[in-house]
Every structure is written in structure tokens, then in C-alpha cells.
Amino acid sequence: MVALAPRYPAENHMEPDLERIRLLVDLLGSPHRSYPAIAITGTNGKSSTARIVDSLLQAFGLRVGRFTSPHLESVTERITIDGTPLTAERFAEVYDEIAPYVEMVDSRMPVPMTFFEVLTGMAFAAFADAPVDVAVLEVGLGGLWDATNVAEAATSVVLPVGLDHVPLLGTTVAEVATEKAGIIHPGAFTVLAAQVPDAAEVLLRRVAEVEATVAREGLEFGVVQRLPAVGGQLVTLQGLAGTYDEMFLPLFGEHQAQNAACAVAAVEAFLGGGESRQIDPDGVREGLAAARSPGRLEVVRTSPTVVLDAGHNPHGMAATVRALADSFSFTRLVGVVACLSDKDVRGILEVLEPALTMVVVTTNSSPRALPVDDLFALAVDVFGEDRVQAEDRLDDALDTAVQLAEDEVEYGGAGVLVTGSVVTVGEARLLLTSR
């Protein structure tokens, strides 16, 4: 298992071709055909929505396999059955089982399988072996050429589309939406979150071309009301065929309420066999209350409050900032920020600036991490030199931020936000929870 990462091209490496994964699943006996699937794409919110869908389906008595990416602390988190990650032993077993077939694919193809493609094949095999009743598949990158798309899910969710992974997916929202529209298959049921016009036009054109059924947030379903509550929020959701009143969702922010609305609509469509039908409100209540999304506005410490959020692009960071204002009462908030060099780092900092009193910039262990000096220069340009400090190590940055947060706050209201990258949040989570 340890050799899995270096054995294959880097995860952010994309080869736009489904032939490798198709050949692998053929050699494995088509495990992805053993169960129906719900596919989820979009620029932000995929992991949270996948987890909510998973929780809802379990509440209705189904055995669920979930495949998400990237992971926070352990690669085994990516493949779960009934909400529980594969053990390290089982993860290694699944890899050993498919490894000979991966070698066969590599011997026949001009380009070897990528890290993500191998993990996708492992998930398909593990789910078939379990067996599961349904697979919830988070698209890794884009949609059309993503390895998960070989499953041709009959139920799909497209969350809000914005700019991210620009070199790979396109330089305009319309180009990115074209890639993500690839998960909408002929005759499928598609749940569309609220979209900017350029994305909506592309996605609805794809729906029409393949004669899919569509449900649109704000028209066929959506959030009727939401009230912040201790540990989350109370939401009333309009589903495809019914209203679900005053459901507790233990996640923060308007964006999570919208994710929950998309998840409920997808589960309604799935359980209804592609038809709009109301599902038992008690099951929805149970499923939403049990939903968790680690690293997404996750509180991991108090006195001062330390919040982890995996926002890594301006679109996602804007949702984070709104949720902080909506659900927390910080009088002094210090940021710990480390980003990857291929992201819109200036855009991230500009969104964060009004929300933070000060920022401590640092780095993470990713080979794509932006060097501290480069991030410091950008942060000074955005925040001003007197509001920025730099630390070479993440653990030192956390300690510095806690001290800065507490310096001028006597009676509570101090907070620390750790953000900028999934890698940063995963490493901070490991440091803070181990303490």
C-alpha cells in the first residue's frame, strides 16, 4: 500500500482517455455494473454532498459504497462501506487483488494508469465484493474523462461550476461546465444546483441532447428556510415531491444547506427509480442529522476556537467566509494559510482578507505547495505587512496563530481558521487531534 502513490503518475496528472479504466474493469469482470451509482461533480461541495447522500441512503436501509477524493489523513478514507473506511489491511488486499490486472493494462496501453484510475478500480472492486446496494461516486476531476464516469451513473448531481484546475479543464466557466456535463448520460436523472448563466446554458444543452430528466435548484427543489443552530443549522427543504420541515443539519453555512437540498433531491430520484417521489421524512431527518464532513468548517478545538476548512479556490473560499459570518461570532480571527502553487492564491487571499484580523502563512508537505516566501509576498500585497506573519512549519504556524488570536481578546471571541488546501487541513487536523 505504501508503494501505491510513487508507483503511478501524480494524482493531479490527467490523461483524457477512459480506455485504461475501461480495460481494467473489463479484466476485473465489470464490477462497476454490479450496483447502481450516483455520480457527483461540480467545482466545490462534492465531498460534503457525497457524504450527505451516503448518510441519507443508509438511513433508508441501503448498504452504501462511497468513493471520494482527496483524503485528509489517510488514503483509506477514500473508499468507504456504510460510512466506514476500508481498514489498512483490506485496502492492501484490494490493491493486491487488482494489481496483476493493472499491470496487464499498463502493458497494453501507451500511457500507464494514473494513481486516481487505480484507486477508482479498487473502489469498484471493493464495492462489488462487499457487496453494496449503491455506489456514491465523487468525480475526481471534471467529469467527461474522469475514471468514475465509466460507471455511467443513472443519477447525477452537478454542483455549482466555477473556475478551478484551469490548465486542465478550461479557462472559462463554459469550458469547465462542458467537461462536467460529461457525467450526464442518456436517460439519466440529473440534479442541477444553482449555476451561473454560462454554466447553466452548457449543462441544460447537454440534458436536452441526451434526453435526460433534470431537476433545478430554485425551481423543482431547494432550500425553503434555514436557521443557524448550535452545532449546525435547522433547514426546511423543498424536495422533488414534498417538503421536509425543520431538519437538523450538523454542518455550517448556506452552501451546506444547498448541498443538502441537492442530496435529498438525488436520493428522491434514486429511490423513485428516476421518478419524482417523496420519501419518508423520518428517514431524511435521520440521514441529515447523521451527516458529517470532516475538514469543512470543522471545529477541532475551543479556547480559542480552531476551525478547519478545505477551501482552495476563490469560489469555495467565498462560501467559507459567508458561513463564518453566519454561524460564528468571532471578534478576532487569525488565519493559517498554506496553498498549492497551481491555485488562484491571490484570489483566495483577497476573499479572505475582510474576514481575518491577521494571517500566518506557511506551507504543507505537497510537492505542489507554494513556498512560504512566495505566499508571504502575495499576502503582504493583499493584507499589508503589519497583518502578515510567516512560519516555515505548519505546527509553528498553528502555535503562532493561537497566540495571536488570544493576544487581545479577554472574554472569548478569538478564533483561528486553517485553510487554503485540503493537504493543509488534513495535516493540521492530524496535528491538532493528536495533541
Neighbouring residues of 36: CB distance < 8 A, sequence distance ≥ 6: 134, 135, 153, 154, 155, 270
CB atoms within 10 A of CB 407: 12
Sequence-ordered list of residues with C-beta below 8 angstroms from that of 400, at least 6 positions apart, any chain = 360, 389, 391
The CATH number of 4-289 is 3.40.1190.10
295 or 165: whose pLDDT is higher? 295
Return the pLDDT at 163.
65
285, amino acid identity: R
pLDDT digits (tens, 9 = 90+) for 29-79: 999 999 999 999 998 899 999 999 999 999 999 999 999 998 988 999 999
Three-state secondary structure call for residue 393? coil
Quote the pLDDT of residue 167: 66
65-99 pLDDT per residue, tens: 999 998 988 999 999 999 999 999 999 999 999 99
For residue range 335-385, list pLDDT tens digits in order. Answer: 999 999 988 999 999 999 999 999 999 999 999 999 999 999 999 999 999
Work out the mean pLDDT of the chain and round it to a whole number: 92
Residue 5 has pLDDT above 60, yes or no: no
Q: Which of 5-9, 161-165, 327-331 has the lowest mean pLDDT?
A: 5-9
In the CATH scheme, what is the code of domain 296-434? Answer: 3.90.190.20
What DSSP character marks residue 251? S
Identify the three-state secondary structure at position 143.
coil
Among 308, 259, 292, residue whose Cα is nearest residue 83: 292
pLDDT of residue 394: 97
276: cell is 419524482
| pLDDT score recorded for residue 6 | 46
The Cα–Cα gap between 278 and 259 comes to 18
- What pLDDT score was predicted for residue 15? 64
Report how far residue 101's alpha carbon sits from residue 105's, in angstroms, rounded to the nearest whole number.
6
Q: What is the pLDDT of residue 46?
A: 94
Q: Render the burial of 270-292: b for 16+ CB within 10 Å, e for the rest.
A: bbbeeebeebeeebbbbbbebbe
Of 142-146, 282-286, 397-401, the poorest mean pLDDT is in: 142-146
Among 410, 415, 351, which residue's Cα sits nearest to residue 379? 351
pLDDT digits 0-9 by tens, 179-227: 999 999 999 999 999 999 999 999 999 999 999 999 999 999 999 999 9
Q: What was the pLDDT predicted at 316?
A: 87
Which of 135, 141, 150, 142 lies closest to 115 in space, CA to CA?
Answer: 141
Residue 177: the pLDDT is 92
Average pLDDT of 232-236?
97
User: Which residue ranges make up each domain of the chain?
Assistant: 4-289, 296-434
Closest CA to 244 of 270, 228, 267: 267
Which triple of cell numbers denotes residue 44? 466545490
User: How does DSSP classify residue 217?
Assistant: B
Please give the Cα distance from 422 to 379 (Å, whole number): 19
pLDDT for residue 1: 41
pLDDT-based confidence at 2, cuts 50/70/90?
very low
Give the model's pLDDT for residue 171: 73
Residue-wise pLDDT for 273-329, tens only, equals 666 677 999 999 999 999 999 999 999 988 899 999 998 899 889 999 999 999 998
Question: What are phi and psi for residue 6, nearest 5 degrees?
Answer: -70, -20
Residues in contact with 96: Cβ distance below 8 Å, sequence separation at least 6, in sequence order: none
Cell numbers found for residue 340 = 498549492
Q: Could you tell me if 405 and 304 are in contact, meaning their C-beta atoms sit under 8 angstroms apart?
A: yes
